[in-house]
Structure 1
Amino acid sequence: MTDRTVPGRACLQELASQRRLPAHQPMDQMTLQWIADNRPVNFDAAPSFPRPGLMLVPARSWFTTERQADSNHGILHNARVSLLAALLAQEYGLEDDDVAAVCAAGAVHDCRRRDDRADAGHGRRAASWFLHHTDTVTGAMSRPVAAVALHRATEAIAVHDVPYGDFTAQQKRVYQAAPHLVDVLKAADCLDRYRLPLQQWWPDLTRLRTPVPAWLPPAAFALVVRSEQAALDGATHHDALTTARQSLAHGQ
């Protein structure tokens, strides 16, 4: 990997160690190198997906700002979560409409973020945006999705950023009506935390309510490294993600 960190600017990993992370946190080469160098020792050396999986790459216009689209919770993150969510949904035998709906949810779950910090309420804002733009999102998927599945996906987006233990009484009722989409979206979002610049922020599978197959964490890690590297090397978001997914679908 070549050094593409902007001269004179500290990398995200250094800033995180110093508790000085800025509001917007695009990936840099030094941080990505640190991530690659800290690959968990128990991970399979040749990770792969058992199937290509459904993935939706969100449009730049779906995000609050151009800057946010290119940041740590932007296009690359949302697209990877859409793929991971679809793979998990397929793994557990969910119906095709639910697979497509949770893929769409992953693609937009962080689209209304204002920055890369905690940004309380961004799940509700994204759910509201999705509710008013479902035709746009499903149109980008080139397939119709049943309205009931889209409704469940909207509810999952609204609570994806809320810890289970903090659910209100209303959120608990919503969750009990369709727990599978909430659980899958939360798990997929968690699995993309390998992009974050401190290991203590990486996936903690004990916080999830759905089991994660052993093949998925190593593949999720590789998906982060390969797609982020391709983007740093100049590939478009779509090309970076597509190439990374294809390499893992073929076990390369």
Structure 2
Amino acid sequence: MSILEVNKLTLRFGGLTAVNDLSFRLEEHAIMSLIGPNGAGKTSAFNCLTGFYKATVGEILFLGRSIAAEKPHRITKMGIARTFQNVRLFKDMTVLENVMSGMHTRSSAGILAAILRPPGQIAEEKRIRQVSRECLDFVGIEDKADRLARNLAYGDQRRVEWARALATQPKLLLLDEPAAGLNQDEKNQLVELIQKIRNTLGITVLLIEHDMGLVMKVSEKIVVIDYGEKIAEGTAEAVKNNPRVIEAYLGKEDES
């Protein structure tokens, strides 16, 4: 069963076409990568999937429902979470508070309840705190819950962002260059974590990543785009040996 279907997605900014006629399907509980050279349109496609950009043309279906016109917070509530290429944390809040902020879409209390704090509000706050700690434990930094986010090493700040995304209780997790800035040991741990997210939590994963070693290890399917257009799709082995992919990354040999 497809959890995500992208049909003829096109995104234009004036005369610039960032994404052009992109189509692919992502099966439920799969791990898939969207790759391509710098400037290929990968993050623009992610921004369309998560409501940050509105597609010029095309259809995006999540669990059979169109989300092309939905706002980001609505898409998150429907079950799509994302991380960003650059870490975006509340640096002066604790690690736990950062993760708790990810659960605001699952909170039912309004402003009045937050002020009066009836028993239902207190119970919900307790649940949010508990789930957030479980997410931190899942990514391996529950022991750092009470530290300020700004005081963590870069790799742990990345983990806070992943935990916050998991706290939204997604069905589909979009990771935008999760290995950026990580050392080799941290990248190996990331591969294990992505597999754990799918295998233990049953969450489908779609990632953008430049580290081809990581992509080849973790991906069951790869979609390659160049200048906004899909040029290849398939298994890691098939994509790795595709002449159009090799040309996109390495350039075409000058025959003159």
Q: TM-score under structure 1 normalisation?
A: 0.31
Instruction: Specify which structure has the higher proportion of helix.
Output: 1
Instruction: Specify which structure has the higher proportion of strand.
Output: 2
Which has the larger Rg?
A: 2
